[in-house]
Amino acid sequence: MTFLYIWQAVLTLAGLGLAVTLLALARQIGVLHERVAPAGEQTARAGLEVGQGVPRLVMHTLEDKAFVVGERLPVGANLLLLFVAPECPVCKRVIPIVRALAAERGYGLVFVGDGPVPELKAMVAGRPEMQGVPLLTGVELGLVLQINRLPALVLLDDHAVIRVKDIVNTRQQIEALLDSAQGSAPAGSVTDLTEKGVSLHVAL
């Protein structure tokens, strides 16, 4: 009789354990479903792409000075945005390459930092090739463009329209990207852009 009681207790405990396991499994399935379900949303939030205009955003430099991205530049001017982070080893290799190419081609250059301000300041202080170039802080620009991997290079024309947007790691790749932008639509007039389906985004 004692054996039956013990066996019944074991079965009861096993049943409770199974119930708890099933509840935990159901919860994990629910969490997984939540993570997978927004795939369509992620596609919808893919960020601005080549041919689209960047909205006017007021960013700030490491010195906490306002810096506006998305405004029209002088006719024929181009602005390179290089997204970097202190813990990114490839960024450190690409930074001097991009700075040299920007100077060769007469492009404006701005670094966009991803990380805590103290770490970004230490990064700039330890890298002479970053000094003298504005480094923007904040996540707004990265969110608008949906920059998810670094280093990322974005080229804006004088209408703040994206001509290049890609992850970069070698000089040859960067040169090829910038050369490809030379054959894109001229930025001399809004008509030229709209006729080719370019959308201009304006922040109110």
Any idea what DSSP says for residue 50? Answer: T
What six digits make up the tokens of 166?
Answer: 């890609």
Quick one: how far is CA 114 from the chain centroid?
9
Give CA separation, 33 vs 21, 29, 36, 40, in Å. 18, 6, 5, 13
Residue 86 CB neighbours (<10 A): 19
Put simply, whether the predicted model's pTM sits higher than 0.75 gets the answer no
pLDDT of residue 187: 38
pLDDT of residue 182: 78
Task: Please give the average pLDDT of every successive group of 10 residues along the chain, which has 204 residues.
Answer: 62 60 47 35 61 97 96 96 97 97 97 96 96 96 96 97 96 96 51 36 32
Residues facing residue 60 across a β-bridge: 66, 137
Identify residue 178 by its one-letter amino acid code: L
Residue 80 CA to residue 63 CA, distance in Å, equals 20
pLDDT of residue 166: 96
